[in-house]
Chains A and B, each alone.
Chain A
């Protein structure tokens, strides 16, 4: 039987972020317009494995998905054991720009989901000329919290299991069971306190309610796509955000939750291909 290999290739990139050296793991496939994909909080780049293996996308786009520091196969910085991880708007933005710069990407498209979607809004606010287009999945300028993140990192509650159980409700009932549980498996594998540290950005530091009004979609087109079963970032949250951004294109995805690319890759494809078609024209 012939060897069966997925088309993406994984490598490690050496780069500094805010003066601190990192070894970032990323996977890539395809050629053409660079498309950088940002995973959700407490997860890693495996969420994009279906996109990386989709020839309809990779024939026009060079898809790159990297693990944020502390996530997946990207290690935390040396000395991580002496502090608590906290992602901020500044550090998240710096990590994305460092990756794009170190990889010498020419005006890439950036697509992020959840916290990745929120930070895409910040890229549109602060660095729009650096990007060809921005795609924010499950994103809003602000969302109402629905649980206490203190439960995510304490010795009497299994971090991986509670993280997965919390987000399980954000997956649409229609999503295939295999994809649902693959998505949850990634949440079970996050390092201690990483999901909680990511949510510091989401809950405390990343309120963009006033700033989104300054986004100029003529400089960089912005697409907002949110699943109808996402009760963390609800369609109403995204629609409210879009109302403040002239020219933003917004779409509510039926039968999809908070993790479109991994919970239901076939359904997500129906929504994302037309967006990528527009961008590649």
Chain B
């Protein structure tokens, strides 16, 4: 299973996480997450995924994009990640990930996004 295939299970993983849904209840934003070369578009409404689309979309606008290599996601999703691969900002610091766009919704909900993007770890 590729890293993108693992991420494709995000809707089910989030739907099963009532605590994360509770913590994200004030968050409504459209954002993009790249798993290696594959983009995913997340429409988050009140902490839940109202839409989740895989693959390139022409001229799709999002508030921000978080991009990381397949290697970075595979490291991040290990059940016990190695040092330096265990946090989104550890990945950006080492140059294995990047974030651009309007960072305000990302930082206003930073723990939510760290936990959301770590959900595939549950199936490691």
Contacts and interface: CB of A to CB of B under 8 A. Distances in A.
B86 interface: yes
Contacts of A147: 89
B90 A231 contact: yes
Nearest to B110: A165
Given A147-B89, A168-B114, A228 B108 contact: no
Contacts of A158: 108
A111 to B, nearest CB: 23
B111 interface: yes
A203 to B, nearest CB: 14
B104 A231 contact: no
Q: Is the interface of B mostly helix, strand, loop or mixed?
A: helix
A127 to B, nearest CB: 33
B114 A169 contact: yes
Interface string B72-95: 000000001101101111101110
22 contacts: A146-B92, A151-B107, A156-B104, A157-B107, A157-B108, A161-B111, A162-B110, A165-B110, A165-B111, A165-B114, A166-B89, A168-B87, A169-B86, A169-B87, A169-B90, A173-B80, A173-B81, A228-B83, A229-B83, A231-B84, A231-B93, A231-B94
Contacts of B107: 151, 157, 162
Given A168-B114, A173-B81, A229-B83, A146 B108 contact: no
Nearest to A147: B89
Contacts of B80: 173-174
Using C-beta atoms within 8 Å of the partner chain, give the interface range for chain B: 10 to 19
Interface of A: 144, 146-147, 151, 156-158, 161-162, 164-166, 168-170, 172-174, 228-229, 231, 234
Contact of B108 (A156, A164, A173): A156
A172 to B, nearest CB: 8
Contact of B93 (A146, A161, A172, A174): A146
Contacts of A151: 103, 107
A153 to B, nearest CB: 12
A7 B42 CA distance: 51
Contacts of A161: 110-111
Contacts of A146: 89, 92-93
B83 A162 contact: no
Contacts of A234: 84
A173 B77 CA distance: 12
A174 B89 CA distance: 18
A5 B84 CA distance: 40
A172 B108 CA distance: 23
Which of B92, B93, B103, B114 counts the most A-chain CB atoms under 10 A from its CB?
Answer: B93
Contacts of A164: 111
B30 to A, nearest CB: 18
Which of B80, B89, B108 counts the most A-chain CB atoms under 10 A from its CB?
Answer: B89
A169 B89 contact: yes
A19 to B, nearest CB: 38
A166 B110 contact: yes
A144 B114 contact: no
